[in-house]
Amino acid sequence: MKIEDTNTLVIGAGQAGIAMSEHLTRRRIAHIVLERARIAESWRTRRWDSLVANGPAWHDRFPNMEFEGHSPDAFVGKEDVAAYFEAYAERFAGQIRSGVEVTELTPLEGRPGYRADTSEGVIEAQTVVVATGAFQKPVIPPIVPESEWLTQIHSSDYRNPDALPKGAVLVVGAGSSGAQIADELVRAGRRVFLSVGPHDRPPRSYRGRDFVWWLGVLGKWDRQASAPGAEHVTIAVSGANGGQTVDFRRLAQKGITLLGRTETCANGVLSFAADLERNIRRGDENYLALLDEADAYVTRNGLDLPPEPSARALAAMPDCVTDPLQTLDIRAAGISTIIWATGFANDYGWMAVDAFDEAGRPAHQRGVSRAPGVYFLGLPWLSGRGSSFIWGVWHDAKYLADHIEIQASYRAYRPDPAAARAASRPA
């Protein structure tokens, strides 16, 4: 079998893999990027039809290319985001091979480097960058048994209201995806139930500045995850409909029935935690705290940004929050579909390398794993809060490319023979 050799193998050609390839190309580091589907495939086929980027175009992009045909403050649709990455790869990245899947990654025996078995042969590399991202394996909790009359899908498989069976819809999970999907469904005339768990709820904009700007000037993009698991805190923010602050009170006013965190299902009856009002009030606290920090920043720096007192006006809690449903009979409520907006799990079963902790999570420092020569890129909180955003992954990739270059220089070092002989002579 012919074995191909390269310095660095990048696995995945989403935003992370493209950014990595750009930085390796700039450093003239030989590399190959493998993508099992197409460039930016997740943006094409694992998002609903109306999805837009969660940040404005001036912010959610790579630094070397703007979104053509869009206002800097626009929230770009998913198809244009995918086209952006494809154009960026053609302009800045190196060799990308689409339709090639890595089936196993193992260390080489007796020498540094790794062997990647792929659908098109074997590749050996000194270093490997795992850029498969955070959205690998959709998670649907085993709460509601399967049945013929009830459709259960993950949010990654939702496309639009018309694609669902007729009837009411329960959306479980009220982060960015769940809140947007629930809003779209109620706008389409569906009866909607929304299960709301703990979450952060930043303002979409405040005092004329988008929340991504506030997080930047307040230094919050660089914040580290405070503890294991903190990287999975749900954030309710949306760029849909021109960008609006997610307000669960307003969603209830539109007709959405808010529920607590979904816990169990027995005989077709769902039970919910008694945490709905607490979750919403904690989201309010997060929201108001950011307004406080923004106001203090404006005062401290003497900025001419008009006050926005209306942003602090919170409507009364709706009845579905103050007197929440503790149980819900799925059939009696007319629910035909449950959409699980419950996130994703990583899938590293193909990696036979010592790069994981006891819980199976990547063991790394800023993407540099404990397995020499193995790197992770595109994970939430890889280096900080900004790692999940398009611009953030570009900077993470730059750091890893520097590390790869430095390690390559160590491997290339050979001592000067004359100096070695002199050092070996007796004094």
What dihedral angle (degrees, nearest 10) is formed by the CA atoms of 8, 11, 13, 19? -40
The rounded mean pLDDT for the chain is 94
| Beta-bridge partner residues of 235 | 200
User: Which residue did the predictor score with more confidence, 18 or 345?
Assistant: 18
Q: What is the DSSP string of 21-61?
A: HHHHHHTT--EEEEESS-TTHHHHHSS-TT-B-SS-TTTSS
Interval 391-400 mean pLDDT? 96
Closest CA relative to residue 38, chosen from 75, 79, 92, 71: 79
pLDDT at site 228: 53
pLDDT at site 135: 81
Residue 189 gets the label, from left (phi > 0), alpha (psi -120 to 50) or beta, of: left
pLDDT at site 225: 60
Query: Which parts of 241-292 are beta strand (E)?
Result: 257-259, 262-266, 269-272
Residue 418 binned pLDDT confidence (cut-offs 50, 70, 90): confident
Locate tokens 């498969």: which residue? 132
Q: What is the pLDDT of residues 258-272, one digit of tens each?
A: 999 999 999 999 999
pTM comes to 0.93
Q: What is the pLDDT of residues 269-320, one digit of tens each?
A: 999 999 999 999 999 999 999 999 999 999 999 999 999 999 999 999 999 9
User: Which residue did the predictor score with more confidence, 225 or 231?
Assistant: 225
Cα 272 to Cα 143, 185, 201, 340, 350: the distances in Å are: 12, 22, 21, 15, 37
CA-CA distance, 361 to 228, in Å (whole number)?
A: 10
Closest CA relative to residue 357, chosen from 228, 227, 226, 223: 228
Question: Which stretch of DSSP H or E encloses residue 421?
Answer: helix 417-424
Closest CA relative to residue 202, chosen from 258, 284, 263: 284
Interval 349-364 mean pLDDT? 94
Q: Please report, rounded to a whole number, the percentage of residues in the chain having pLDDT higher than 90.
A: 87
Encoding tokens for residue 398?
Answer: 């730059």
